[in-house]
Amino acid sequence: MPPTASNDVFDITSIPDDVRLLLIRGVAGTGKSTLAREQLVPRGFKHFETDHYFEQMGKYSFEPRKLAAAHEWCQNEARQTLWAGEKAVVSNTFTRFWEMSPYIDMARLSEVRMHIIDLGNQPRYTSIHNIDDDIIQDMINRYEIISP
C-alpha cells in the first residue's frame, strides 16, 4: 500500500483510520515528539524515535558514534509493534527520503497502511534536545520536500 501524506500538524483527523504505521518528519524544533506524545499515543499508537535510544534514567545524552545502532533499535521496536498487531508512530527528522525507506519496506512486508506527517523544515519551537543552531541549519539545508 502506498503511504499517504499530510502537511498539517494539527489536523490529525486527516489520518485514515486504518493506518498502523505513522511517520512524523521535520527538522528539530517542529514539534514531532510533542505531536506523537500528546495526540497520537492517546489514540493507541506506540511512540518511538531514535532519540529515545539516548535517554537514560530521564537524561538525554546523544552520542554520534551510536547513531546507527539507535536507528536500528528504533526500526526494530516499530517492527515488533507491527508484528504484535499494534499501531506505531515514529518521529524522526527523516530529512532525506531514503531515511524513511526501512519503514516503507516494513509497512509493505507487514501489509499495513502507513501515513507520513511532514512538519517541514522551519522550526517553530525550541528543540527539546538543545540542538545547536548550526546543526539545525544543516538539517534545513538537506531537507527534501514532499510534493503534494
C-alpha distance from residue 146 to each of 25, 54, 84, 137, 139 (Å): 11, 28, 30, 19, 15
All domains in the chain, ordered by first residue: 4-142 (3.40.50.300)
Q: What is the pTM of this model?
A: 0.88
* pLDDT tens, N- to C-terminus, the chain (148 residues): 444 444 444 578 888 889 999 999 999 989 999 999 999 999 999 999 999 999 887 888 888 999 999 999 999 999 999 999 999 999 999 999 999 999 999 999 999 999 999 998 888 887 777 788 898 999 999 999 987 6
Q: 43, 5, 39: which is closest to 23 by C-alpha?
A: 5
Distant-in-sequence, close-in-space partners of 143: CB < 8 Å, separation ≥ 6: 27, 95, 96, 120, 121
* Secondary element (H or E) of residue 47: strand 45-48
Angle CA 128–77–112, to nearest 5: 110
